[in-house]
Amino acid sequence: MRDFTEGEHTIPCMRWQHRHSAFTVHQLPALRDNYIYLIQPHGRKLCIVIDPAEAAVVSAACRDLDLTPAFIINTHHHWDHTDGNRALKRAFGCKIIGHAPDAERIPAIDLRVPTESPLSVLGLEMRLLDVPGHTLGHMAIVLDDALFPGDTLFGAGCGRIFEGTYEQMWHSLSRLAALPGDSKIYCAHEYTLANLRFAARIDRDNPVLNARTKQAKALRKEGRPTIPSTIQLERETNPFLRPLDPVFRQAYARQHQVADNPLAVFRDIRARKDRA
């Protein structure tokens, strides 16, 4: 009897599937604006859950899709990424994987893994990247052409710097930006429209940004996600990656009287967003 959620929650029925060469990503909206992801290797009835904000959403999706969660991976310790850990572990016996330095803050953790070395889960080879900034123990998951950056990188935005430094966050974002341009970004929140409004204020004459905004508005109007986006699109439109472009950076530095280097420009844009 696994249906422990019945009668407790209104289960959202909208879900989206994204097929990659060796696996499918199931995208589940949760809470107000979170996404939980299920990674299902092709031909398997088992899945990996990324950042279960709510157990009920995961169990309902797994029931409908005839899947069993075998593993949970938490990108970081915040409650809206880990709240489903205990209930899912109780119901399905799944193993919980978290970053070793954050082991004390990940509920019911089983496997304390290091970053920067390969990890094989359900036959899928993934890389875990150390991306401190939003939190100190934050990690990102790279699986073929899919990136799960948690709260480090968003559609047209990045996470707030709660525990790390600007330098750490800039270094983390730069690493993600260096992934192949066609990598799909499965971030943990649907913040894109609000982020694009901010982006438009500091990057007015960017035609790619304007086109993205138009498309994102149309998607949201239909109740569809703007996520996944791609590394290439983020490089061209995300205000926190734009300091990588020397033309943007020089113009911004001149206009706002900050030093013409990527970190200084990033720091100014992040601080501006925090005040917005």
Q: Is 78 in the site for Zn ion (CB under 5 A)?
A: yes
Residue type, 101: P
Burial 20-38 (b: 16+ CB within 10 A, else e): eeebbbbbbbbeeebbbbb
Q: How far is the CB of 133 from Zn ion (least distance, A)?
A: 11
Minimum gap (Å) between residue 135 Cβ and Zn ion: 6
Question: With respect to Zn ion, which residue has the nearer C-beta, 78 or 89?
Answer: 78
Place of tokens 């996600």: 225
Catalytic residue, candidates 26, 77, 99, 134: 134
Q: How far is the CB of 78 from Zn ion (least distance, A)?
A: 4
* 78 vs 249, beta carbon nearer Zn ion: 78
C-alpha span between 131 and 136 (Å, rounded)? 8
What DSSP string runs through 88-100? Answer: HHHHH--EEEEEG
Q: Does 234 bind Zn ion (CB under 5 A)?
A: no
Number of neighbouring beta carbons within 10 Å of residue 43: 8
Residues 31, 54 contacting (CB under 8 angstroms): yes
In angstroms, give the least distance from the CB of 124 to Zn ion: 24
User: Which range, of 145-153, 209-217, 219-227, 244-252, touches Zn ion by CB under 5 A?
Assistant: 145-153
Q: Which is nearer to Zn ion, 151 or 190 (CB)?
A: 151
Q: Which of 54, 102, 151, 203 binds Zn ion (CB under 5 A)?
A: 151
Q: DSSP letter string over 18-76? A: EE-SSEEEEEEEETTTEEEEEEEETT-SEEEEE--S-HHHHHHHHHHHT-EEEEEE-SS
Does the annotation mark 42 as catalytic? no
d(CA 49, CA 69): 6
Question: Does residue 171 carry a catalytic annotation?
Answer: no
Rank residues 49 and 62 by Cβ distance to Zn ion and give the closer one: 49
Q: Could you say which of 26, 76, 99, 138 is catalytic? A: 76
Binding stretches for Zn ion (CB under 5 A): 78, 151
Give me the active site residues, please.
76, 78, 80-81, 134, 151, 189
